[in-house]
Amino acid sequence: MPKSLQKEKPETLSRVFSNPDQAYEVALKFGTPTYVYSQRILEDQAGKALAFPNAYGLTVRCAMKANPNENLIRIPYKKGVKIDASSGYEALRAMSADIDPEDILLTSQIIPSNLKQLVEIGVEYNACSLHQLETYGKLFPNSDVSLRVNPGRGSGGTKRTNTGGPSSSFGIWHEDLYKALAIAQQYGLNIKRVHTHIGSGSDPEVWKKVSKLSLDIVGKVLDAGHNVSILNLGGGYKVGRMSYEKSTDLQDCGEPVARAFERFARKTGVPLRLEIEPGTFLFANSGAVLARVEDIKPTPKYDFVITDSGMTEVTRPALYGAQHPIAILPVNPGKRKMLRQIVSGKCCESGDILTPAPGDSEALKPRLMKEARIGDLAAIGGAGAYCAGMPTKNYNSYPEAAEVLIDLKGKPHLIRRRQTLDQIIENERRIV
């Protein structure tokens, strides 16, 4: 167990809220559970990403899968952050948010049915398998294409967020690069961009090492006669959601890579433009879920705090054993003692636990927090990324939560209405 966990401290209120009164105001006006985001934090994170060290130019792409709400992807977009889409549907959704098609890079696990139409209107395509590359070659011979390669190594916040190495299906295995080059030659394709991705919440040291492997791959593609001008080093940077977790320093992480690009340019004569794809870095700590304590259930072993949120809004703890800070906000004034409590969701599912053991979704880890009472609020921090975009939607027929954005002046705005039961069942058709 990390030393930081041995000296456990209760989590403080998420920086999304300026004070508890603002949280109460949001709960009173919009109900619970509700996702709440801070425009200020999101803009700050976008600025840090755009300042990433680089030698010959930088493109920052927002991994919109982290949180696809149009209001949230448009905030960094207005500052110059482009879009990384993971499906044809995401590309269409981005365009519906007035994102220019030419600012979208489509990197998908399967070939979109509308690939031809997307490329024809300007979306860039990143081929992630030999089959995808050949399909693209047949549709668009004698054109530019991007190539995603699995560099043989990866890193993630958990094993399930690692997208590199032999246990990952993402990208063309690096030892099959010669097969990809043969397909490109067959269809007259020029590989303009090489893309690698090691995982979300990755170790910055592994990211640096994979950068070296990626440059070696670019060298092989150049040797085959392609005009590569861009190296996209995908991989979400570690973001400390919990107080004891350390976030990646982008300057420290990026400077050695910038120097490696310079050495590569001196060796090959090719000054590569760098692309990065932050998602968690942009969104994670810019969002929180505001929930209400609905019940208290003690057992001989644990004190369970039941909230009206859970895996329907924040799936990561049940899926990965991920840790999210949780602060209890007493509705009634008065001093509360500190207790070790388990926070549980509302679903009829034993895995709906918001305080699992770190990295172990099947084990429980009581948290030190203010004694919770029915009617109190609970603020679940670090919920801006891979929460609203990755819920166990409508389990137990619970509606999707509302989403609220707090603007730069501190005013909350509804950016997605709470779903209704009628909306949940509207596509069902009775036949019996």
Cis peptide, bond prior to residue 358, ω within 30 of zero? no
Tokens 């961009």 label which residue? 193
DSSP output for 106-118? E--SS--TTHHHH
Number of Cβ atoms within 10 Å of the Cβ of 401: 26
Q: Is 348 a catalytic residue?
A: yes
Active-site option among 62, 128, 253, 348: 348
CB-based contact 370:362 (threshold 8 Å): no
* Alpha-carbon span 107 to 112, nearest angstrom: 10
* Calpha distance 159→139 (Å, rounded): 36
Alpha-carbon distance values, 174 to 30, 132, 171, 220 (Å)? 50, 16, 9, 11
What does 251-302 look like in DSSP terms, one character per residue? HHHHHHHHHHHHHHHHHHS--PEEEE--SHHHHGGGEEEEEEEEEEEE-SS-
Sorted by sequence, the CB contacts under 8 Å of residue 43 that are 6+ apart come out as 75, 76, 79, 408
**DSSP of 210-259:** HHHHHHHHHHHHHHTT----EEEEE-PBP---STTPPPP-HHHHHHHHHH
What ranges make up the beta strands (E) of 14-106? 34-38, 58-63, 82-85, 104-106
Query: Cβ contacts of residue 70 below 8 Å, gap of 6+?
Result: 93, 96, 97
Q: Which residue has the tokens 């004070």?
A: 19
User: 247: exposed, middle or buried (C-beta count within 10 Å: 0-12, 13-18, 19+)?
Assistant: middle
The C-alpha atoms of residue 148 and residue 133 are separated, in whole angstroms, by 10
Beta strands in 137-219 (DSSP E): 144-150, 172-173, 190-197
Q: What is the token pair recorded at 344?
A: 């549980």
Q: How many CA atoms lie within 13 A of 240 on its CB side?
A: 11
In angstroms, the CA 320 to CA 358 distance is: 9
- Strands 303-307 and 287-298 turn out to be antiparallel
Q: Catalytic site residues?
A: 348
